[in-house]
Structure 1
Amino acid sequence: MVFSPKLFGTLKNYNQAQFYKDLMAGVIVGIVALPLAIAFGIASGVSPEKGLITAIIAGFIISFFGGSKVQIGGPTGAFIVIVYGIIQQYGITGLAIATVMAGALLITMGLLKLGNVIKFIPFPVIVGFTSGIALTIFTTQIKDATGMQLDKVPASFIDKWIVYFEHFSGIGIWSVLTCAITILIIVSFTKITKKIPGTLIAIVLVTFVAWLIRHLGYNLGIETIGDRFTIQASMPQPVGLHFDFATIQHLLPPAFTIAMLGAIESLLSAMVADGVIGDKHDSNTELIGQGIANLVTPLFGGIPATGAIARTMTNINNGGRTPVAGIIHAVVLLLILLFLSPLAQHIPMSCLAGVLIVVSYNMSEWRTFRSLLKNSKSDVSVLLVTFSLTVVFDLTIAITIGLLLAMLLLIKRLTETSHITVFTDDVSASVYQESTASDEKLDIPAGVEVYEINGPFFFGIANKFDEVVAQVAEMPKARIIRMRKVPFIDSTGLHNLDSFIRLSRHHKIKIILSGVNEQVHNSLRRSGIANEIGDENICSNIYDALKVASGK
């Protein structure tokens, strides 16, 4: 089946002991997810409760319908840049429509069984846009981390830094100190235990100290969430969205980016989780589950969601082994939203900035980035182009250009590894081995040419075949095209082969194919080339082909 949620399979042998583990894991993950959901919501350009609503609804749906036993879904740092950009250009309504469209794309990808294909996106592309997103997130947090009083921060990366340097004198020392202490607590606590991330401890401690200082009557100029936002402690009613062709046309590129980014991040997270728990997720079901979540969440004002690797690992480390833990995590967040969310208004903005700076550092994968710079020039070029476009322009352009460049370089590599050799009676290589046996030799008679194609006969090498043929000056009586090392042939290869056959017939040259595998043979039948040549001229090996060429 294409759609088979893991929840229903795990419930068959579910027991009380596993429920207790899932309950504890779900509660801890829910508490850990609280500050992250708020931080990602604010950084994305929406109110804090929108991040919580996303974590609640998407987290529940992804666990209920997903293809991984331990995946925890919700808003993630990777979406901050793209969400903020969409809101700036199309508004909140535009973001909701783009997210719904992305959900539909994800479901379509899952139904078409493209889950495994997503995993083959080139690694330099993934590292390039991930590192680019990390740098962009870090840049967006400079204002809150330093306490700069700016009415509006430019959207462009370069313009942001220009404004920051212009307002350098407006840095608030207490905001910088709050941010630095937050980072120090997170980093230090990680070395003590990995079960409860230092993010939670940092926010609780820093928020309490900041509240206490303000309560005692000291005004240090540290802005809190409550100074900027009003948190609605309730679940909103679903709203309808209006779709028309013009809107869909405008929002298709960002919707595609959301879908691709969501698919990549969720499947990478699921793969990492598989390695830890020794399980195998269903990638197509996972895409469908992610798609359903992104279809529903925007109707309640939520933002795009995907699998979150940090929260997924927290779930695993605390004993969660079934989707029940993810469902409990969503319920815990719902209870916090309804009864405890007013407490979140005391969290300092510089504290959240510290959390996101740590998130951006962890996302940057700078060690991997540095190691990739030692690879081939093509990998380095893909990496740097994707990274630069992500930072300077946006993720939509970066993913599109990065994938395109990677595909072009792959075609170039395939073309370079595929080659065509001509053997005739006039060259020293006219004695050619058919097998590994050193005493088995192949004599090519006069008037016969053998064209050995080594590699796929696709559009990248089809023109090379024409060039090799054109270099042969004499007109032979027969031409053998040896295809034992051709795994497949595409439409361009078929077209060039057909043209080659017709030209040879015009010059009364007989064409024989040798060593054609079943897949290539089927392609030749469908194109009509097999009938044109004749079955008697399609031989299983070179010896039979030489006999046919000699008229024996």
Structure 2
Amino acid sequence: MAFPLPIARFRPRLLDALKGYDSARFGKDAAAGVTVAVVALPLAMAFAIASGLKPEAGLFTAIIAGFLISALGGSRVQIGGPAGAFIVIVYDIALRYGVGNLIIATALSGVLLFLMGLLKLGTLVRFIPVSVIIGFTNGIAVLIGLSQVKDFLGLAIPKMPGDFFGILGALWGHLHTLNPWALGVALASLAIVVGWQRWVPALGQRVRWASKLGSVPGSIVALVIATAVVGVAGLPVETIGSRFGGIPAALPAFVWPDFSWESARFLLMPVVTLALLGAIESLLCARVADGLINDRHDPNQELMAQGIANFVTPFFGGMPATGTIARTVTNVKSGATSPVSGMVHALALLAVILVAAPLAGSIPLATLAAILMFVAWNMGEWREFARLPSYRLPYRVTLVAVFLLTVVFDLTVAVQFGIFAACVTFIYRISSLSRGVRLTDAEQPLLAGHEARVQAWRLYGALFFGATKLVEALEDHLPPHTLVLDLKNVIYLDSTGAEALESLVRACRKQGVRLIVSGLMNQPRDIAARTGLLAQFTERSAQDVQPDVARAIASAVAPADDGAAPLQTS
């Protein structure tokens, strides 16, 4: 018999959101989209530069991927685009394998994301423990901040290494090239960004006209002021124009990658890492958005949209994309009602490129470094380190280990270790919940006077490969006459648990001990029947399988085997 695959239906949320759509809602969506575009403009360029790419790669990603994710996604208000979480892995792929293989890796991660959504695997991402997510999120934040020290200090480093110790060595070795003008611009920009976020909302509560300033992102204010000051004063700091030659004022063009099969065959783990990171970030972002608008997103549709966006975008000069929490929250707070706002945000960025691209060449890199430093600080959940003593040891070990592995070694290694550690911890905890309790005559009066030759045990929890020690302990200390097992509270039985029970059956036969089983329920009974274990229980007598422990004990202490009715197994 063929079992059909659980294929998800492809239905973008946009189709439902447009029902009853009117000009009033479009006005709100358009205003929200333009606001988000203002926020996304500096971040898109900064993320691309930090990833070792040209600034237009971030803008093209925000335009193409942002439009596709909103148009095809499973959330009403989520904004897609380049994200800080990708900086480390993108920089590493581009450094090791080249930009051509980065395009291939991004496109393949898009295929993987689409298949995850198509096969309804969107909910599985939620099974990744919080300790793993916090560990690598904080690790990525540290690496982002560390990668921006070069431009923040204006150091003359021709090419930054990709590893942690290499970065530290390069920064220390070139510290003598510090540019005080770049440092001054960076510090001033950071002060504007931080001060704007903290003081403008407070001022807006006192002064009516100042409340309107709160809708303007501090990053844009810092960008405008720093660019103007550097341009007017002619400060000797590096800009987008001096390093990259500016941003082309043209539509994204199709790019066929120049890659090598020799290096492409090593892309399996980077592809999986990109897909996993994209899935985690987008679905976490969508859940945050759900809480803000009292809605529920479609995780499978969201993954399919993310897959399409990541497959298409790299062939037009873009980089990996995912859902972005900061821009999504801005979108919601700006009054967005549908995916149209995300599509407007992408079109607004396209208009900026076509009209104002030449101006972007004057943006100082020190300012973008300051903005990314601020993003990295807000990205990390640093309070979790202070709260570690209140958690159990496995949680602390997993979080700290994933954090250190992310910073010192590799994000892929960190995620692999984190998931492995979480699985081991889960198995240990579930096995610790499984236990066995010997019944006494106080609970079962029929045992009175027979406890020397009859033992009755009640097992609890899951009888799986991590908890077979319960059965092994019974096998090592068999009673002289009869062993009664009450399995009513066993909720799960796997093949290893069934094999352990088979071993117990054989041990009982060898020592001449009668084994009576009671309370087989649902899944354990089904496994016992399919593995032949149930037949082994009844091989001596049909009375050796009973519906409850009381009848099992009655059969054990009865002078003949016909003292109780057997469990019907048909």
TM-score by length of 2: 0.89
| Aligned residue number for residue 476 of structure 2 | 471
1:50-69 to 2 correspondence within 5 Å? 50-69=57-76
1:489 matches 2:493: yes
1:512-527 to 2 correspondence within 5 Å? 512-527=516-531
1:498 matches 2:502: yes
- Taking a change above 3 Å as real, the CA distance of residues 281 and 143 of structure 1, as seen in their structure-2 partners, is same
Per-residue Cα deviation, 1:18-63 (whole angstroms, up to 9, x for no partner)? 1110000011111211111111011111111111111111111111
Shift of 1:240: 4.4
1:449 partner SS: strand
Shift of 1:320: 0.7
- Taking a change above 3 Å as real, the CA distance of residues 243 and 152 of structure 1, as seen in their structure-2 partners, is closer
Moved more, 25-34 or 447-456: 447-456
1:433 matches 2:443: yes
| Aligned residue number for residue 107 of structure 2 | 100
| Aligned residue number for residue 451 of structure 1 | 457
Per-residue Cα deviation, 1:354-403 (whole angstroms, up to 9, x for no partner)? 00000110112111232134311111110111000000111100000111
CA distance in 1, matches of 2:450, 2:315: 75
- Taking a change above 3 Å as real, the CA distance of residues 246 and 222 of structure 1, as seen in their structure-2 partners, is closer
Task: Provide the aligned length of Structure 1 versus Structure 2.
Answer: 534
Shift of 1:247: 5.8
Instruction: Check conservation: 2:454, 2:479, Cα contact below 8 A.
Output: no
Instruction: Check conservation: 1:53, 1:302, Cα contact below 8 A.
Output: yes
Instruction: Check conservation: 2:472, 2:504, Cα contact below 8 A.
Output: no
Per-residue Cα deviation, 1:238-291 (whole angstroms, up to 9, x for no partner)? 344699987664111011111111111111111111111111111111111111
Alpha-carbon RMSD across the aligned residues, in angstroms, is 2.1
Instruction: Check conservation: 1:195, 1:317, Cα contact below 8 A.
Output: no
Per-residue Cα deviation, 1:296-315 (whole angstroms, up to 9, x for no partner)? 11121211110000000110
| Aligned residue number for residue 170 of structure 1 | 177
Amino acid at match of 2:474: V
Shift of 1:432: 5.1
Matching residue within 280, 283, 291 for 2:296: 280
Moved more, 495-504 or 250-259: 495-504
1:67-146 to 2 correspondence within 5 Å? 67-146=74-153
- Taking a change above 3 Å as real, the CA distance of residues 84 and 244 of structure 1, as seen in their structure-2 partners, is closer
Shift of 1:2: 4.0
Per-residue Cα deviation, 1:287-345 (whole angstroms, up to 9, x for no partner)? 11111111111121211110000000110010012111011111111111222222111
| Aligned residue number for residue 342 of structure 2 | 326
1:511 partner SS: strand
Instruction: Check conservation: 2:38, 2:217, Cα contact below 8 A.
Output: no
Per-residue Cα deviation, 1:433-479 (whole angstroms, up to 9, x for no partner)? 37xxxxx88758443322322211111111x1243124315443x32
Percent identity over the alignment is 42
Moved more, 199-208 or 388-397: 199-208
- Taking a change above 3 Å as real, the CA distance of residues 339 and 411 of structure 1, as seen in their structure-2 partners, is same
Amino acid at match of 2:138: S
1:43 matches 2:54: no
Instruction: Check conservation: 2:485, 2:517, Cα contact below 8 A.
Output: yes
| Aligned residue number for residue 532 of structure 2 | 528
| Aligned residue number for residue 342 of structure 1 | 358
Shift of 1:156: 1.8
Amino acid at match of 1:330: A
| Aligned residue number for residue 400 of structure 2 | 384
Per-residue Cα deviation, 1:493-525 (whole angstroms, up to 9, x for no partner)? 122222222332344433332222212222222
Instruction: Check conservation: 1:101, 1:252, Cα contact below 8 A.
Output: no
Instruction: Check conservation: 1:420, 1:468, Cα contact below 8 A.
Output: no
TM-score by length of 1: 0.92
CA distance in 2, matches of 1:210, 1:309: 31
CA distance in 1, matches of 2:44, 2:286: 20
1:325 partner SS: helix
CA distance in 2, matches of 1:358, 1:444: 75
| Aligned residue number for residue 211 of structure 1 | 231
Amino acid at match of 2:388: L
1:300-379 to 2 correspondence within 5 Å? 300-379=316-395
1:486 partner SS: strand
Instruction: Check conservation: 1:2, 1:113, Cα contact below 8 A.
Output: no
Amino acid at match of 1:336: V
| Aligned residue number for residue 223 of structure 1 | 238
